[in-house]
Structure 1
């Protein structure tokens, strides 16, 4: 074991912060829709998700085979190139290429950074801190998202390309941080070249009812977390247009996103206490229920009350992601940990991409997506979500959806 393996723990937090400096997060739909059409803007997001989907599992396998550090360096490098193309490109084809590269970057990091943290903690016999460390890392992420959202909105008022250029600078910083990671030691039970045994381990995971339950929950929560991200921006544009502030839409969107992340940081401060008080199953189901409620309100009305619910968009993530990871990581082997985590993301992205594609086909080809189209898509999603929530709640009583009590942070 290398003596500075513990540096990975602090570097992980900063890598999450830098990766979350997505200055274009609150304005990307407005930017693409201004240049292209609403349907093309949605399809660009689909391209991003498809790119991640195609590379998700192979990148997890690459991480398990070649190592966490090399995979994370590749992630930072291709993301840097992708956001640079968004900043300096001007055509639909260039934007597609950029989205593919950004998607590749997301695929390379998905599961790998989380596996890096757990294995670094395990190397120094601190794996029981995984939940607490993930909560801290999520705070770093939320702070990064909050700062970049409002800053990106302000930059977009000066030049719509500046948020993408600023994100490129952040990705250069991420590349420097990931270069400093130390490859954590891993135990293996699979002889070199015995890939069938690796596949067998994945099959065993799907026969584990606890892992299967968390897999389904994670896929559903991924989809419902991104619905307000996609459809919240055109709603904000319509709302500020109604009050005569169309030119300030990027800044307003950025401010709302910053407030959203700030609320999530505050919630993360009490997340561990809520888990202990409510129990893991109730906490996770409540978080999923809140996601469904946000989509349901957006489907019911286009009034200002939606702004209040949009501010809660990341709260479910603060109450679920660290605990999902903390529960399932000890159940996974080092030989297939990143592959399993990537497979989970793969299915979530695939389901969401297919749903968005169906939504894009059903919309008008106008520059601005009408609220009627948004409401129709979100109504269907809400009905699916309520059904899934009931099924998860019923099945939770039949399996051990519990997590060990870990140290506070």
Structure 2
């Protein structure tokens, strides 16, 4: 492995760590309530955060392509640390809202640019075939960090509800030197003179590529299904009768299952091939929804692990399919567009699924979500399916 690849991968691990080692999640609601916020205030803050991400997702991808992935990741790191610094010394809704906006913008500058940096780093040394493996390991590291942080954050909160925020600032600040030490790949020629309208035209032309459009849709639908399922986990625990004292433990174990399976996603894709991998991902995740709906009990928690394990395998593979059909000069923009679609999808279907949960039951909501993902995923994958068949037939006809 060349020095440039090694340096970039190590620093991308550190950026992922700073992003996912989230100490505040186990105590965030308690912290808000301790500062006088109601549950309605809390949901408003999360809405503000999501809007900040949606508004900046595509522009941040554009900046990563024309300004440079290193500079964009550095800005994302600075904003992330600044957001937690503001949180650490704030006490009211308005200051928290400003902090959420800063954190949302910082998140958008990192998402997309990190995967684009990884892919082009490998491509610069003709090692882009290793992308699934490296993306899987970095994703795995992020999930391990999230799992460990859940335990550490809870312990820190026993001393003070504000202490996790102080430490979180230090964790987030790790991304700043990590971004500074990144080396921009030669395959990504930065062109700061390129106008935003020209980038949009390039993206539009790229979307005429059926395989890219298909890869983007399947990856976005799968990302939406994963995000949606995560919000069903705690209601599932409650309905299954899991003691509240074990919520954090189970959450940690679920994230560990994602981390372990992500490490082996490249082997799964190599074993199954592109066409079968897509089928296993879409049908398997849909089945995870159906099985969770079928058995809401302590024993049924095993169904959650089935979904999370497959989730860990799915995302590195699906991101690789996007990268295969994307030009380097718009790679971060396309990956940011994926995240944009995920957030929009969730904003639309989240309240609807919440209505089904409240009006009918958790089982009905899980069934509706699973069926919706199954149909949209299968429809989205058709061009990739047909392309894999053509390539297979072509290979058979070769002497």
TM-score (ref. length: structure 2): 0.84
State how far apart, in whole Å, the 2-side matches of 1:271 and 1:383 are. Answer: 25
Aligned counterpart, 1:397 = 385
Superposition deviation, residue 162 in structure 1: 3.7
State how far apart, in whole Å, the 2-side matches of 1:319 and 1:128 are. Answer: 16
Query: After the TM superposition, which of the residue ranges 225-234 and 97-106 deviates more from structure 2?
Result: 225-234
- Map 1:175-186 to 2 at 5 A: 175-186=176-187
Tell me which of 318, 322, 335 is aligned to 1:328: 322
CA gap 1:204/1:145 in 2 versus in 1, 3 angstroms: same
State how far apart, in whole Å, the 1-side matches of 2:233 and 2:161 are. Answer: 19
Maintained 8 Å contact 2:260/2:312: no
CA gap 1:269/1:291 in 2 versus in 1, 3 angstroms: same
CA gap 1:78/1:306 in 2 versus in 1, 3 angstroms: farther
CA gap 1:235/1:164 in 2 versus in 1, 3 angstroms: farther
State how far apart, in whole Å, the 2-side matches of 1:290 and 1:141 are. Answer: 23
Superposition deviation, residue 236 in structure 1: 3.5
Query: After the TM superposition, which of the residue ranges 128-137 and 109-118 deviates more from structure 2?
Result: 128-137
Superposition deviation, residue 112 in structure 1: 0.4
Superposition deviation, residue 316 in structure 1: 3.0
Maintained 8 Å contact 1:60/1:112: yes
Maintained 8 Å contact 2:70/2:183: yes
After superposition, give the CA deviation of every residue in 1:130-177 in whole Å (9 maximum; x if it has no partner).
222212212222221221122223334444444443322210122221
Superposition deviation, residue 300 in structure 1: 5.1
- Map 1:349-360 to 2 at 5 A: 349-358=343-352
Matched position secondary structure for 1:304 = coil
Aligned counterpart, 1:96 = 97
Aligned counterpart, 2:395 = none
Aligned counterpart, 1:24 = 24
Which structure has more relative contact order (CA 8 Å, sep 6+)? It is: 1
State how far apart, in whole Å, the 2-side matches of 1:402 and 1:140 are. Answer: 36
CA gap 1:39/1:370 in 2 versus in 1, 3 angstroms: farther
Tell me which of 309, 315, 337 is aligned to 2:309: 315
Matched position secondary structure for 2:387 = coil
Unaligned runs of 5+ in 1: 364-368, 405-409
* Aligned residues between the structures: 390
Tell me which of 370, 387, 390 is aligned to 1:382: 370
Aligned counterpart, 1:212 = 213
Aligned counterpart, 2:8 = 8
Aligned counterpart, 1:340 = 334
State how far apart, in whole Å, the 1-side matches of 2:59 and 2:45 are. Answer: 22
Matched position secondary structure for 2:174 = helix
Query: After the TM superposition, which of the residue ranges 95-104 and 307-316 deviates more from structure 2?
Result: 307-316
Maintained 8 Å contact 1:27/1:233: no
CA gap 1:8/1:371 in 2 versus in 1, 3 angstroms: farther
State how far apart, in whole Å, the 1-side matches of 2:62 and 2:333 are. Answer: 5
- Map 1:234-253 to 2 at 5 A: 234-236=235-237, 245-246=243-244, 248=245, 252-253=246-247
- Map 1:193-342 to 2 at 5 A: 193=194, 196-236=197-237, 245-246=243-244, 248=245, 252-299=246-293, 302-342=296-336
Bigger share in helix: 2
State how far apart, in whole Å, the 2-side matches of 1:82 and 1:374 are. Answer: 35
Maintained 8 Å contact 1:26/1:149: yes
State how far apart, in whole Å, the 2-side matches of 1:300 and 1:176 are. Answer: 48
Maintained 8 Å contact 1:326/1:403: no
After superposition, give the CA deviation of every residue in 1:268-305 in whole Å (9 maximum; x if it has no partner).
34322321222223223323334334444554554223
CA gap 1:306/1:353 in 2 versus in 1, 3 angstroms: farther
